[in-house]
Chains A and B, each alone.
Chain A
Amino acid sequence: MKPRHLMLLALPLVLVIALPMLMVVATMPTYGEVNPTFNYVIEHYNAHALEETGATNVVTGIILDYRAYDTLIETTVLFTGTIGVLLALKSVPRRRGDLSGRRHNP
């Protein structure tokens, strides 16, 4: 299939995805006002972050004290990504004549 046919086929699909998203945006609360996402958790974090964590940066106090477990798992995700790249691109050099890859003990 030529690239031009691919472009003509992809455009209706993208419109089918994007137009319901725009309809959802039309029914959302106004940008810049207080949404229903502002609940008691936000008030507690904003009011007590300095005295409970000692950090003046509230976002650092959240990701490293209140929700430190999520940041630990995120560090693990970084580690897993590095392992994936190493597995895909690093090859162990084979000894000549030994197809099983085992070490020879002389």
Chain B
Amino acid sequence: MDDDIILNEVATRVVPMICLFGVYIIFNGHLSPGGGFAGGTVIGVAMVLFSLVFGLRATFAMVPENLLILLTSLGPLWYAVTGLVGVFRGVGFLANANAGINLGAPGSLFSAGLIPVITFGVGISVAITVTILFVILVEAD
């Protein structure tokens, strides 16, 4: 990509806003429509926009490629480890209220037990998946 001034200036200001909006969608997954998959997709699309405007080299300077491939396995691992909390308390796998976790006041941000923890893991997983699919498909030998 050439050094187009409009693209550079707009992308510098817009990409952090898109990431912030995606993080907001992830963290309010149990209160309003959204959740891990929608918020993770928004963050992944922000990374794709960054990679389109500033090139692949700037993207790899921010997040190395081997680190991206390593973080792909973080999603299912986080989910499974969170599910083991129920096993260690004596109840079944992936238990939320049965494991004795305080559910909190309905409508506040720190409520619903393990659901925000799982949503965060799912959001990271989807964001990394969308980013790595784009980067691998665009990268030429």
| Known interface pairs A82-B129, A85-B137, A86-B69; A57-B33 also in contact (CB < 8 Å) | yes
Report how far A60 CA is from B35 CA in the complex, Å: 7
Find out whether the CB atom of B30 lies under 8 angstroms from the CB atom of A60.
yes
- Contact check, A72 vs B76: say whether CB atoms are below 8 A apart: yes
In B87-112, the 8 Å CB interface with A consists of 93-94, 96-97, 103-104, 106-107, 111-112
Decide if B103 touches A60 in the complex (CB within 8 Å): no
Bound Cα distance from A53 to B102, whole angstroms: 10
Main secondary structure of the interface of B (DSSP, over half): loop
Question: Size of chain B's interface in residues, with CB distance under 8 A?
Answer: 39
Band of interface residues on A: 20 to 34
Interface: A71 (CB within 8 A): yes
A contact residues around B112 at 8 Å (CB): 53-55, 60-61
Known: A68-B94, A78-B129, A85-B133. A56 touches B106 (CB 8 A): yes
**Interface stretch among B1-9, B15-23, B113-121?**
B113-121
Cβ of A90 under 8 Å from chain B: yes
B48 at the interface (CB under 8 A from A): no
Q: Closest 8 CB pairs between A and B? A: A54-B103, A54-B112, A55-B30, A55-B112, A68-B94, A75-B76, A60-B30, A65-B96
**Interface residues in chain A, defined as those with a beta carbon under 8 Å from any beta carbon in chain B:** 50, 52-57, 59-61, 63-65, 68-69, 71-72, 75-76, 78-79, 81-83, 85-86, 89-91
Q: Taking beta carbons and an 8 Å cutoff, which residues of B are in contact with A?
A: 29-35, 69, 72-73, 75-76, 79-80, 83, 93-94, 96-97, 103-104, 106-107, 111-113, 115, 118-119, 122, 125-126, 129, 132-133, 136-137, 139, 141
